[in-house]
Structure 1
Amino acid sequence: MKTRALGRTGRKVSVIGLGTWQLGADWGNVNEAEALSVLDTAYASGVTFFDTADVYGDGRSEELIGRWRRENPNAEITVATKMGRRVEQVPEAYTLDAFRTWNDRSRRNLGVDTVDLVQLHCPPTAVYSSDAVYDALDTMVQEERIASYGVSVETVDEALTAIARPHIATVQIIINAFRQKPIEQVLPVAREAGVGIIARVPLASGLLTNRYTRQTTFAADDHRNYNRDGSAFDVGETFSGVDYGMGLEAAAHFARLASTELPDASTAQAALAWLVAHEDISTVIPGARNAEQARGNAEAANYSVSADFLAAARELYDVELRGQIHPRW
């Protein structure tokens, strides 16, 4: 597994990480044994970066990672969690006292004294410009509650605002073949600043697997039932905010390109390899509901894609999606 520097954390992590929202059982049921098998398989496949949040399954995802770490005490991994979504989303809620309370809970769940990386979890836009917020985060580092901090953002402008701060280690943002704006506007600025980029929703909630149809249904408790038409766009992030029907057509087009470029890879692996080809992305964090998916995602790091494939995927975006997506964030 290739590794890259994770921004200002001073750590190196696998280019394919693991997103663990699914392990919180917010995407349909994932039992404890399955969840631990996902973590086992990901690590055995070379994955050294696990991304979670205190609200994934109301802490279940963090707790499972904490248990896995206790059972694998010699595993060399980086765990990033997020905080801020447990309260009403107003800037006034983002205080040092609140941060300490949320961090205490995450440290208990994860079974650590110091969390490797804490990210603000898509807070209100005004939070990214608040001196008091960054002062509070610096205090958390000084107190050794957290080793580094970053942000998870919804918009390109939020990312750029955060990158300008001197102690921001990482920015997590949606980047995939259907969401290419950060490649133009965020990655070059992050590289210059030494800030790591964590690419989330890399498969557009599964659209880029090319396994869905108009008849596909999801369990009642599955997050993919939300925002099916893309009207809420960033609210929920399901299918990267792309209208489901439009996304199916674009996914079929991407799959045709992928089968020519990487005939031995799945469409999902090609989509992940496309992201890894952008060297300013530190790590890509697909989720996995089972060991097979975790292994397949990790194997995507073994594939290389050509400049022609990158150009073809860009043309697909420009022609089929850009007008609907690019101006909105």
Structure 2
Amino acid sequence: MRKRPLGKTTLQVSELALGTWGLSGDGYGPMVEAEIDRVIDRALAVGIDLFDTADVYGRGEMERRLGKRLQGAGPAFVVTKIGTDLEGLPPRKRFDPAHLRTAFERSQERLARDVVDVVLLHNPTMAAMRSKESLAFLRDLKQAGKIRAFGVSAGSADVARSALRDEVDVIEIAYNAFLPGDLHEVAGDVSESGAAVLARSVLAHGLLAGQWSADREFFSFDHRAERWTREEFKLRIRQLDVLRPLVTGPVVSLRAAALRFVLANQLVSSAVLGPRSVAQLDQLVREAGMPPYLGDTALTELSARLRSAGITT
């Protein structure tokens, strides 16, 4: 497993990370508990040392599980996210220091770590970013030696840019071949700040694996049932054709092309994967391949095809 610098921190992390939202059962439906453990253990075995989670994944269960599975497993870094109050009626986002302090202490206990590697605000609004209190709280945790790095999991380029200008260590942002624009929009800010980029949604929730037909339907408990209208979904399936010219030589599938697109961007410190089985994880690790992931000519031609298909690059 190749390593990359985690931005301006002193950490070196695997360029593939294991995301745990899918394993939690929250997004795609129930998981067999034994398979969750097998996926985590397999990630460690293939050299993945960066694990992405949040205090709300499985209502804290994924943090607890990582706390157990990673103990004594050698170097392993955890990124967790806080800022959602599930105890409120209704549950809501909260980024006030009082809530964040309680949330962090609970995460720290579940992860069984005196020092948490990376803590991110979980999808804050621009209003939360403007208040400055939440980032000041995380900065204080870092100065106190309770976390190694801090930042924001951003839902938009505006939030990411605001975080970068407030000198965070890490941003997490959706980045894939069908959604390249947010990261490209803040690329200059990333370069200037030296912050690490964790790329999530690298397969667009499975779409970019290229294995669905246009009439694919999802179960009601699967978040993808509400993600696209039927017409939007059919359009996305047609747009997959712009990726097919990349499938040549060592790029053996659309899934490989999509993953290599993310890894080809040197701003990305790690691509956060979301496998729900050992077989899926092994497939992704195998198909990531070796650098150069995609050539400059291939990327330039892809950008032109994406624009012609109506995808903003």
Q: Fold-level match, TM-score > 0.5?
A: yes
CA contact (8 A) 1:52 1:80 kept: yes
CA contact (8 A) 1:23 1:60 kept: no
| Residue type of the alignment partner of 2:117 | D
For the pair 1:82 / 2:88, whether they are aligned, the reply is: no
How far does the alpha carbon of each residue in 1:243-300 deviate from its partner, in whole angstroms, 9 at most, with x for none? 211111112431x22323545x232122111111111111110200000111122224
Q: How many angstroms does 1:46 deviate by? A: 1.9
Q: Distance in 1 between matches of 2:305 and 2:37?
A: 37
For the pair 1:122 / 2:111, whether they are aligned, the reply is: no
CA contact (8 A) 1:18 1:286 kept: yes
For the pair 1:248 / 2:237, whether they are aligned, the reply is: yes
How far does the alpha carbon of each residue in 1:291-319 deviate from its partner, in whole angstroms, 9 at most, with x for none? 01111222244232212221232123211
For the pair 1:257 / 2:245, whether they are aligned, the reply is: yes
CA contact (8 A) 1:140 1:146 kept: yes
Gaps (5+ residues) in structure 1? 231-241
Q: Distance in 1 between matches of 2:54 and 2:8?
A: 20
Q: How many angstroms does 1:77 deviate by? A: 1.4
Would the alpha carbon gap of residues 262 and 182 (structure 1) be closer, same or farther in structure 2, given more than 3 Å must change? Answer: farther
Correspondence 1:304-319 to 2 at 5 A: 304-319=293-308
For the pair 1:170 / 2:170, whether they are aligned, the reply is: yes
- Partner of 2:70: helix, strand, or coil? helix
How far does the alpha carbon of each residue in 1:117-175 deviate from its partner, in whole angstroms, 9 at most, with x for none? 01101012112222222221122223333221110111111111110113x11111111
2:273 to 261, 265, 286: 286
How many percent of aligned residue pairs carry the same amino acid? Answer: 30
Q: How many angstroms does 1:183 deviate by? A: 4.4
Runs of 4+ residues over 6 Å off in structure 1: none
1:237 match:
none
**TM-score for both structures, normalised by structure 1:** 0.87
CA contact (8 A) 2:165 2:189 kept: no
Q: Distance in 1 between matches of 2:66 and 2:305?
A: 38
1:321 match:
310
- Partner of 1:8: helix, strand, or coil? coil
- Partner of 1:102: helix, strand, or coil? helix
Q: Distance in 2 between matches of 1:104 and 1:183?
A: 31
Q: CA RMSD in A?
A: 2.0
- Partner of 1:54: helix, strand, or coil? coil
CA contact (8 A) 1:25 1:57 kept: yes
**TM-score for both structures, normalised by structure 2:** 0.91
CA contact (8 A) 2:2 2:15 kept: yes
Q: Distance in 2 between matches of 1:78 and 1:309?
A: 33
Q: Distance in 1 between matches of 2:287 and 2:150?
A: 28
| Residue type of the alignment partner of 1:78 | F
Correspondence 1:177-216 to 2 at 5 A: 177-216=177-216
CA contact (8 A) 1:173 1:199 kept: yes
Greater mean alpha carbon deviation, residues 275-284 or residues 126-135 = 126-135
Gaps (5+ residues) in structure 2? none
| Residue type of the alignment partner of 1:63 | R
- Partner of 2:31: helix, strand, or coil? coil
Count of residue correspondences:
306
Q: Distance in 1 between matches of 2:202 and 2:149?
A: 24
CA contact (8 A) 2:157 2:183 kept: no
Q: Distance in 2 between matches of 1:125 and 1:9?
A: 25
For the pair 1:267 / 2:254, whether they are aligned, the reply is: yes
Q: How many angstroms does 1:207 deviate by? A: 0.5
2:264 to 259, 273, 277: 277
Would the alpha carbon gap of residues 252 and 63 (structure 1) be closer, same or farther in structure 2, given more than 3 Å must change? Answer: farther
CA contact (8 A) 1:5 1:13 kept: yes
Q: Distance in 2 between matches of 1:47 and 1:309?
A: 28
Q: Distance in 2 between matches of 1:61 and 1:305?
A: 34
1:236 match:
none
Q: Distance in 1 between matches of 2:126 and 2:297?
A: 37
CA contact (8 A) 1:188 1:280 kept: no
CA contact (8 A) 2:14 2:47 kept: yes
CA contact (8 A) 1:187 1:197 kept: no
> Larger RCO: Structure 1 or Structure 2 (Cα < 8 Å, ≥ 6 residues apart)?
1
